[in-house]
Amino acid sequence: MSTTKTSLEAIPLLKGRQNYTSWSKQMESHLKASNAWEIITGEWKRPSKPSYFEAPIRPQDLIAEHRARRQEQEEAQAEDPDATPLPPYVQLSLREAKEELEYIKTHIEQWKRWNKAERTAINDINSRISDTCREELGSLDDLKSIWDRLKVLYVESTCGTWVKELNALVKLIGGRKAGENPDEWMRKVITTGRNIKDNLGDINMDIFMAYILTVNLGDDLTATTTETYRQSEWPSVDSIRTSISEEFQSKLNAGKTKPTVSARPDNDDPKLNLTTSSSRKRRGARLSSPSKRQDNDGEKKRQGWPICPLCGDKHPIKKEGDCYAARPETASVAWREKNQDKIEAYKKKSQ
């Protein structure tokens, strides 16, 4: 008695995230053999459901049905005097009935072939997933929705996963040494890139810029990176840029970091409260108490700020409603952590 496993039986049971990647690749290969994979990719569209479960046997049967439908329409019109008059009745010819019968048979055949491929693929997937995975699918009953749902459930879709995938690709840059056969290096690049596309989709330039902004940002700027990596979708490049600048300034003001001149953003935006290029020209002058001078400068700036009508505190206001205490969701993580007392005070005041 043969104990050789079929291609389906050779696929291990899907247990969850820990083996989804290898399981999905094997299951994809199996589904391609039956053309069911084209249903998932959308290349094989679901045909419209035919009006007949079984085709009429003879063309004359279609002619009789055509006449019977007309009679029903005439009876319905007779009961409703306000109904739109029916067009003159033209009996279906034998030639037309034969052509229609061929179309009906082809339509039914197309539907049954597509439906069988989908139902078989669904049964195959259900036979190779654990009971827990099957429960998490719920009542889904079409192939593409089932496949997409499994991917959502068991592929880590956070930005942190993007970073890990892209890190693996970036590490291959410059990986080939002079004189080495490039075949192995090219294989790694293409395989890694295709895995990224299979798991996460295509990369657009905004995602790549966001990745560059957040990866290896430095040991002193961690709040922005941590918050970004937790998201299921990449924040905009502008919001990441603002969060990095605000976190940097927040730690600079709190005295928790001593950035070098090269680390400082070259930005004269007063919102960042950074040392400007004109003041850096005087950085060689010796001062008896630089920290005291910074405190005095900061106090002078604060005195010039308007009083916020929302929180009652002094801070820069670019437009109406621009208040972090009133709208903490617009502030950076670092600001929210540092000014939790202001946020709570505003909540109590609003109540």
DSSP code per residue over 321-349: T--TTT-GGGS-HHHHHHTHHHHHHHHHH
Average pLDDT over residues 89-113: 87
Alpha-carbon torsion 176, 180, 186, 187, what sign? negative
**Tell me, what amino acid is at 338?**
K
What mean pLDDT, rounded, does the chain reach? 79
Give SS3 for 129.
strand
Report in angstroms the alpha-carbon separations of 119 from 10, 81, 305.
20, 48, 68
Pairwise pLDDT comparison (210 vs 350), residue with the higher score: 210
Token readout for 10 is 């050779």
Token readout for 217 is 């940002």
Report in angstroms the alpha-carbon separations of 69 from 62, 90, 97, 102.
11, 12, 15, 20
DSSP 8-state symbol, 313: S
Write down the pLDDT at residue 312. Answer: 76
The string of pLDDT tens digits covering residues 270-321 is 332 323 333 333 334 333 444 444 455 555 556 667 777 777 777 777 666 6
Nearest one of 123, 128, 124, 148 to 137, comparing CA atoms: 148
Distance separating alpha carbons of residues 343 and 351, to the nearest angstrom: 13
Highest mean pLDDT among 82-86, 152-156, 335-339 belongs to 82-86
Share of the chain above pLDDT 90, in %: 16
Token readout for 196 is 């990224």
What's the pTM value of the predicted model, to 2 decimals?
A: 0.45
Query: Is the Cβ–Cβ distance between 156 and 231 less than 8 Å?
Result: no
Length of the chain in terms of residues written: 351
Nearest one of 104, 132, 105, 124 to 40, comparing CA atoms: 124
Query: Is the Cβ–Cβ distance between 149 and 137 less than 8 Å?
Result: yes
Domain positions in the chain are 17-81+89-138, 156-172+181-282, 304-351
